[in-house]
Structure 1
Amino acid sequence: MDQRLLTFRLLQVFRQVVQHGSITAASRALHLTQPTVSLQLKKLSDAVGTPLVDYQQQKLQLTAAGELLYQAAQDIDDRLSELRFQLSQQQSGSIGSISLAVVNTAQYLLPELLAAFYQDYPAVQVTLHIGNRARILERFEQQQDHLYLFSHPPSGDHVHAKPVVRNPLYLVAPLTHWAAKQSKLSFQQLKTERFLLREPGSATRMIFDTWLSSQAIELAHSMQIETNEAIRLSVSAGLGLAVLSAHTLQLPHDRLVILPVQGFPLSSHWYLVRHANKRLPPAAMRLQQFIEQSLAKWHDPLGV
């Protein structure tokens, strides 16, 4: 590798190509032409002395060398960000930039939490990314953010995950449903009902599927809906029953009721996660500590 040919600009272009998954998308993000980005990528490959990307079934993939260079580029960017923070801290006190990524359900936890954090650290800038589990997992593997909130964290030696708050999952029904008037129910009484489910791979879906399997129960009717908000509104409208996190429910404003079903609520937790290979700047460490301390005080307001 010829280090004399490496530049921060080449590494920036490379990072954008990896994170956007294509030269076309990276060129739009960088406001450059596709040929320019392709040429920059070739210069970087020449400097390293080996190809950094290849294409499998028309999808951009990193080579082994590309993986190593991407990790180094991420480390360099983090160290430079930390240097900027330290230099600024000497002049103006506690400031910094944090990238936080959470799965869809966790968005209900964040507004009050971040509002309280900003009261203590008004000069810290937090960028919040929200997506389904597959998207946030992709961001985690690419180390695009400092901290993550998962209800079912990824696995591996590169994962640092700490449970920070309970995430009970309740079985809910419309107010007009016949089961809403019952004081005690078994799931067998409900298994022929239509259930509104998140997409396969979501944490709520995985926990519910695991519970169904442990009880040797198969649902007779189901409908897949991609967001908890849409599921909550659909239950209120009478479309079916659903298993939802206590954090997503807005009782008594929702036109739905929690069913007293044996075995529910299902137990789960939210996890604060970071990538072991990504350095946390001081501002991110402050946010990590703040989240852990704040959520440790949370209790289930439904408690049924």
Structure 2
Amino acid sequence: MNYTLHQLEIFCKIADLKSVTKASEELFLTQPAVSIQLKKFQEQFQNPLFEVVGRKIYITEFGTEIAIAATNILNEVQALNYKALSFHGELAGTLKIAIVSTAKYAMPYFLTDFMNQHPSVDLVMDVTNKAEVVRSLESNDVDFAMVSTIPKNLKIDRIQLMENKLHLVGGRQYTQSSKNLNPKIFEQLPLIYREQGSATRNAMERFMASHKISTYKKMELTSNEAVKQAVVAGLGFSIMPLIGIKNELNTGDLQIIPVKDLPMVTNWNLIWLSSKNLSSIAKRFVEHINENKSLVMNAHFNWFNDY
């Protein structure tokens, strides 16, 4: 057999995504180039690695076994590369972070300088909801997580990064009052919620419960971006984190509606398991955050003070 590491990488990506098109997009290759390499890889085996039914690709049982073996080979090769770089004094390896979806508006700013300073460090960042972030942390699948609510069932260490302000937000269609409204205003508004498991959803429900508010209409969407676009379109109103709506506030597509007892203010935190044996990369990242978080805040989030 004479397969290449490139072919292994392509086949693993296809097996993972079940799509040649999606694999080509993630690998930044043309679809014909991926198809050619997949064909050459298949020619080296007597048993089929995949089947095409209609326009869908299905990985066979044999193909699944090959994908597992190929993944192990690629991981070993990557480990060899990291060891070679480390021998020459470079920080090399993988930094794994899980963040709640709204944190995607902030975490990249805390990562940029670190990644630029250490080009041999690879980043894997999973963007999901709070429940999945906590699960990833608890199962030790990641080094760090960025959350606004500290999980109570885990012993964690943390670095407080920045404030998380949550306001009632409406589209440009809303005729706004200049004074703080009574929280009972929520009973007159069609409200849009995040999905169960979202920290924003939990905060919104706590606010409703603490003010004994009964909502008359409710819509549920599965991402902060989806909620934002729904509010912009005039489908309803929502309590949203300030961090994700800067551009829409500037353009007037969204407006903050002043309500008594809002905004709710929590804090964004970088957290990790207290029991975790941090890698050299993770330790260096903690040092970097402690040394530079104030600089990041001043450079990118001073606009928070306007709200």
Normalised-by-shorter TM-score class: 0.5 to 0.7
Runs of 4+ in structure 1 displaced over 4 angstroms? 83-87
Which residues in structure 2 correspond to 1:245-264 (within 5 Å)? 245-249=241-245, 250=247, 251-253=249-251, 255-264=253-262
Q: How far does the alpha carbon of each residue in 1:77-136 deviate from its partner, in whole angstroms, 9 at most, with x for none? A: 9xxx7x986774331423332111111111111233322222322222211111112222
Equivalent residue in structure 2 for 1:32, among 65, 86, 92: 65
1:265 is displaced (CA, Å) by 0.9
Matched-pair contact (CA < 8 Å) for 1:171–1:258: yes
Report the CA distance between 1:293 and its aligned residue: 4.1
Q: Which runs of 5+ in 2 are unaligned?
A: 1-15, 17-59, 70-74
Aligned pair partner of 1:110 in 102, 107, 114: 107
> What's the CA shift for 1:144?
0.5
Contact in 1 for aligned 2:129/2:197 (Cα 8 Å): no
Shift of the alpha carbon at 1:269?
A: 1.0
Identify if the C-alpha distance between structure 1 residues 91 and 33 changes in structure 2 by more than 3 Å, giving closer, same or farther. closer
The equivalent residue for 1:119 is 116
Percentage of matched positions with identical amino acids = 23
**Distance in 1 separating the partners of 2:154 and 2:223:** 30
Distance 1:171 1:300 in 2: 21
Taking a change above 3 Å as real, the CA distance of residues 151 and 170 of structure 1, as seen in their structure-2 partners, is same
Alignment of 1:159 with 2:131, yes or no, is no
Inter-partner Cα distance in structure 2 for 1:233 and 1:293: 36
What is the one-letter code of the residue matched to 1:116? D
SS of 1:219's partner is coil
Task: Give the aligned partner of residue 271 of structure 1.
Answer: 269
Cα distance between partner residues in 1 of 2:239 and 2:293: 22
Q: Residue 187 of structure 2: SS of its match in structure 1?
A: coil
SS at match of 2:265: coil
- 2:135 maps to which residue? 138
Q: Give the 3 Å change call, closer, same or farther, for CA 274–206 of structure 1 in structure 2.
A: same
1:284/1:290 CA distance change after superposition, 3 Å: same
The CA deviation string for residues 170-207 of structure 1, in whole angstroms up to 9 with x for no partner, is: 111111112x2534322223422011111122111111
The aligned amino acid for 2:235 is: L
Aligned with 1:208 (options 204, 207, 213): 204
Q: Establish whether residue 244 from structure 1 lines up as the match of residue 277 from structure 2.
A: no
Q: How far apart are 1:32 and its partner, in Å? A: 1.1
Query: How many equivalent pairs are there?
Result: 235
> AA paired with 2:287?
Q
1:91 corresponds to: 88
| TM-score normalised per structure 1 | 0.68
Give 1:235 shift: 0.5
Does the 8 Å contact 1:102/1:149 carry over to 2? yes
C-alpha distance in 1 between matches for 2:173 and 2:149: 33
Letter paired with 1:247:
I
Q: What corresponds to 2:56 in structure 1?
A: none
Q: How much is the aligned-residue C-alpha RMSD, in angstroms?
A: 3.1
1:100 and 2:69 correspond: no
SS of structure 2 residue aligned to 1:230? helix
The aligned counterpart of 1:41 is none
| Residues 294/220 of structure 1: CA separation in 2 closer, same or farther (3 Å cut) | farther
Counterpart of 2:173? 176
Contact 2:172–2:252 under 8 Å retained in 1:
no
Correspondence 1:232 to 2:228: yes
Specify the SS of the correspondent of 2:212: coil
What amino acid sits opposite 1:177 in the alignment?
Y
Q: How far 1:244 sits from its partner (Å)? A: 0.9
Per-residue CA shift, 1:224-277, capped at 9, x if unaligned? 111000100110100111111111112313611011211111011112111233
The one-letter code matched in structure 2 to 1:271 is: N
Q: Secondary structure at the match of 2:283?
A: helix
**Which AA in structure 2 matches 1:32?**
E
Is residue 2:303 matched to residue 1:301?
yes
- Is the CA contact (8 Å cut-off) linking 2:192 and 2:219 kept in structure 1? yes
Indicate if the aligned counterparts of 2:164 and 2:242 stay in contact, CA closer than 8 A.
yes
